[in-house]
Amino acid sequence: MSLRNTLFAALGLLCLVPAAQAQYYYTPASPDSRPVSVYVLGGFNEPTGQTSNILQGGWDIGFGVAFRQPGSPLALRLELNYAQNNATNQLLNQGTQESGLQINSGWADLFSFTANAELRFPFGPSSYGYVIAGGGGYYTQVSLTTQGYGYVCDPWWGYCYVGYGDVVVSQNDTTKFGWNAGAGMSFALRSGMTLFFEARYNQIQLPQKFEYVPITVGLKF
């Protein structure tokens, strides 16, 4: 999926949200009325650009803390995210050619810790839209496996044996600076929590650009 199609899909999802706005309303106990709030989020993670040649769509989860001066449209969000995406056939074939082994599976683990500025645009007493951008440290690890025999030791019972299964034959990892930018919509819930939807483009500063777009839903407490 191209970056343009991914962003159109994300914007389409966000445009559908206001239809349910009547179910939400602002209360003084809302997390957005406090100077500090915490949140969790999760959803779909779509590689874009050249990254989509080596990774399939995957999933993303995260945890964050938001700081905001009451009454200000600006907020600071510190966020920790983890995403995982399986390898495409193109990457498996490339690994087979380079290693001389039959690579049967692979995946990428993506960790990030970022500081982000959020600017809000109120739609009413119970909802607002926002844009967000920031940067931080990104750790990526790509693993490729083949099927074969290996010597396995059970850490609980203390015995070792020869087993057959997936064996990691290649593992490359790196830590680099990256940045992200996106937009979202937020709604106060009857329960006192805040529901939000967002999509953010992420780029890691590698020799070949590493790009992906998480499309997520979250709850703020």
> What is the C-alpha to C-alpha distance for residues 116 and 111, in angstroms, rounded to an integer?
16
Structural domain includes residue 156 = no
CA 81 to chain centre: 6
* Residues 3 and 201: beta-carbon distance below 8 Å: yes
Output the CA angle 198-204-210, nearest 5 degrees.
90
Structural domain includes residue 92 = no
Which two structure tokens, joined as six digits, stand for 206?
A: 């590698």
* Residues 112 and 178: beta-carbon distance below 8 Å: yes
- The reported pLDDT for the residue numbered 124 is 85
CA 18 to chain centre: 24
CATH number at residue 27: 2.40.160.20
> What is the C-alpha to C-alpha distance for residues 55 and 21, in angstroms, rounded to an integer?
36
Structural domain includes residue 93 = no
Cα four-point dihedral sign 79, 80, 86, 88: positive
* Residues 68 and 33: beta-carbon distance below 8 Å: no
Structural domain includes residue 158 = no
* Residues 121 and 143: beta-carbon distance below 8 Å: no
Structural domain includes residue 185 = yes
pLDDT (tens digit, 9 = 90+) per residue, 183-213?
999 999 988 899 999 999 999 998 888 999 9
- Which residue's entry shows tokens 């690579």? 103
- Classified as helix, coil or strand, 72 is coil
Count the domains in the chain. Answer: 1
- The reported pLDDT for the residue numbered 22 is 34
> What is the C-alpha to C-alpha distance for residues 187 and 17, in angstroms, rounded to an integer?
9
Structural domain includes residue 147 = no
Which two structure tokens, joined as six digits, stand for 69?
A: 């001066």
Structural domain includes residue 97 = no
pLDDT (tens digit, 9 = 90+) per residue, 145-172?
988 766 666 666 666 766 666 778 889 9
> What is the C-alpha to C-alpha distance for residues 48 and 56, in angstroms, rounded to an integer?
10
Helix (H) or strand (E) holding 106: strand 105-124
* Low-confidence residues of the chain: pLDDT under 70: 1-29, 149-159, 161-165
* Residues 45 and 10: beta-carbon distance below 8 Å: no
Structural domain includes residue 151 = no
Where do the H-state alpha helices sit in 17-59?
none
- The reported pLDDT for the residue numbered 160 is 72
Residue-range definition of the domain harbouring residue 195:
3-87+108-139+175-220
